[in-house]
Amino acid sequence: RLWVTVVPIVAATFPAAVQACLWGRYRLPWGATICVLGLLLGEWVNRYFNFWGWTYFPVNFVFPSQLIPSAIILDVVLLLSNSFTFTAVAGAMGWGLIFYPSNWPVIAPLHVPVEYNGMVMTLAD
């Protein structure tokens, strides 16, 4: 219900913290991506056991994979700028701007025409 408004803001805090630790101590620019991949693994375990194993909800309708492009943009901005301040401004803006377009490859197969009771609809409807 609050996927589009709350998730981009809340999900940016953990990768930013891991990225700050890894960049500050070791100068490794992939902290946000590693953090998001860990969150992705945890969310897929949650999706399988809670949505499919408990309620048999279709797993292809719940997907956390759209956080990966945002984390890659955050890491690339830090790698190219070497500045936490610029990464906080430009990387966070990129994080929010890429959130909606990163849904398109996942949702695209659901927009095929289907006839249902004499009406043509998409699977997303």
Q: Is the pTM of this model over 0.85?
A: no
59-93 pLDDT, tens digit each: 666 567 778 999 999 999 999 999 999 999 999 89
Fold classification of 3-122 (topology level): particulate methane monooxygenase, chain B (1.20.1450)
Residue 62 phi/psi, 5-degree rounding, is -120, 115
Separation between Cα atoms, residue 35 and residue 14, nearest integer Å: 7
CA-CA distance, 45 to 62, in Å (whole number)?
12
When pLDDT is cut at 50, 70 and 90, the band that residue 10 belongs to is: confident
Burial class (CB in 10 A: 0-12, 13-18, 19+), 95: buried
Q: How do 113-116 and 119-122 pair as beta strands?
A: antiparallel
DSSP 91: I
User: Averaged over 102-119, what is the pLDDT?
Assistant: 81
